[in-house]
């Protein structure tokens, strides 16, 4: 195809897609939300910061020569995904959703599914030591917990936080051995996470299985209707090149 492609990124898939498209000679501009202070930058042009909702994204698309949009944001970036669907419907830009598959249970897993962070907070009432790996944006849902809470994030989380919170600043991926050591060090007895999918953050699930710990998982939100979706970077590259 000719013309630039806007990749709504911030994920490993977004970075790999930008790299693959640039290698194919496609001009790419990647948009990052700017929530991480020192993000890993993708190949090609990069813009940082929001658009101002669907109307702002539509205005940006009208003002910039872009042939297509690929939404490669996090599976739980619901606001951006909804804005992309609305903006592209209004402007007529082709839109593809690139979303990695969710995790699959293995024998020995003790997974407890919930629909929201608030339900996750209710599900861990009564546990003594909780590992919160839901991302620093939604930690306020757990502010009422009285258990010891372990939070790991790239940047320091903002309050409100649970009263007995230990924060570990680190950037993944992490090995199973590292996750086992962390869970043991903090005597964790339940893990809370979102069904983000992907290998980069799956080691904690393996570690929880090996230690016999329950995992409370937040289900993914539904995708906008009518938006084609692929699960791999290769399929996204094929979609772009086939336009």
Question: pLDDT, tens digit, for every residue of 75-88?
Answer: 999 999 999 999 99
Higher-pLDDT residue of 201, 177: 177
For the chain, the domains span 4-101+221-241, 111-218
Question: Predicted confidence band at 73 (pLDDT cuts at 50, 70, 90)?
Answer: very high
Backbone angles phi and psi of 98, in degrees to 5: -105, 110
Q: What percent of the chain has pLDDT over 70?
A: 98
Alpha-carbon radius of gyration of the chain: 19
Cα–Cα distance measured from residue 85 to residue 227, given in angstroms and rounded to the nearest whole number:
7
Domains 4-101+221-241 and 111-218 share a fold: yes
* 137-195 tens-digit pLDDT: 889 999 999 999 999 988 899 999 999 999 999 988 999 999 999 999 999 999 999 99
CATH number of this structure's domain 111-218, picked from the four choices 3.30.70, 3.30.2420, 2.30.30, 3.40.50: 3.40.50
Query: What pLDDT was estimated at residue 36?
Result: 67
Query: What pLDDT was estimated at residue 56?
Result: 97
* 23-58 tens-digit pLDDT: 999 999 999 987 766 788 899 999 999 999 999 999
Query: What pLDDT was estimated at residue 2?
Result: 60
- Indicate the average pLDDT of the chain: 94
39 burial via Cβ count (<10 Å: 0-12, 13-18, 19+): middle
Query: What pLDDT was estimated at residue 1?
Result: 55
CATH number of this structure's domain 4-101+221-241, picked from the four choices 3.40.50.720, 3.30.70.141, 3.90.1170.40, 3.20.20.150: 3.40.50.720
pLDDT of 232 over the 80 cut: yes
- Token readout for 18 is 């930008």
């Amino acid at each position: 195809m000719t013309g630039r492609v806007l990749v709504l990124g911030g994920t490993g898939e977004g970075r790999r897609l930008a790299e693959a498209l640039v290698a194919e000679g496609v001009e790419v501009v990647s948009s990052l939300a700017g929530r991480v202070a020192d993000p890993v930058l993708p190949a090609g042009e990069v813009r940082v910061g929001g658009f101002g909702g669907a109307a702002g994204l539509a205005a940006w698309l009208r003002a910039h020569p872009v042939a297509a949009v690929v939404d490669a944001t996090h599976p739980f970036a619901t606001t951006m995904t909804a804005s992309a669907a609305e903006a592209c419907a209004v402007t007529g830009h082709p839109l593809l959703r690139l979303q990695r598959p969710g995790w699959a249970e293995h024998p020995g897993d003790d997974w407890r599914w919930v629909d929201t962070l608030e339900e996750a907070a209710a599900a861990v009432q009564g546990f003594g030591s909780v590992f919160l790996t839901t991302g620093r944006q939604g930690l306020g849902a757990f502010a009422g917990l009285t258990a010891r809470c372990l939070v790991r994030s790239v940047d320091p989380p903002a309050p409100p936080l649970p009263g007995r919170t230990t924060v570990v600043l680190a950037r993944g991926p992490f090995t199973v051995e590292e996750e086992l050591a962390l869970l043991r060090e903090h005597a964790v007895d339940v893990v809370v996470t979102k069904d983000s999918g992907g290998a980069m953050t799956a080691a904690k699930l393996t570690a929880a299985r090996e230690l016999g710990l329950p995992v409370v998982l937040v289900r993914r939100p539904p995708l906008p209707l009518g938006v084609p979706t692929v699960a791999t970077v290769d399929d996204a590259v094929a979609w772009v090149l086939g336009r």
